[in-house]
Amino acid sequence: MQATMDHYIYTTRLKQIWCDAVAKYQAGNRNPETYFNPSTLAELASLGLNIMDVYDYAEDFVSHDDPSFETFLLVCEVRRDYFLNIQKGQPSKQTLDPSTLPAKDQSLAGILWLPRILPKALAKIRGELPPEVMYGCGGDRRFFKANNIHPAEFLRIVESQHQDVSNIISWLKSRSESSPT
Residue 73: what pLDDT?
98
The model's pTM: 0.94
DSSP 129-160: --TT--TT-HHHHHHHHHTT--HHHHHHHHHH
Residue 172: what pLDDT?
92
Angle at which helices 114-126 and 151-160 pack, to 10 degrees?
80
Residue 6: what pLDDT?
85
Determine the residue type at 72.
F
For CA atoms 178, 117, 12, 5, give the dihedral sign: positive
Regions of the chain short of the pLDDT cut 70: 1-2, 178-181
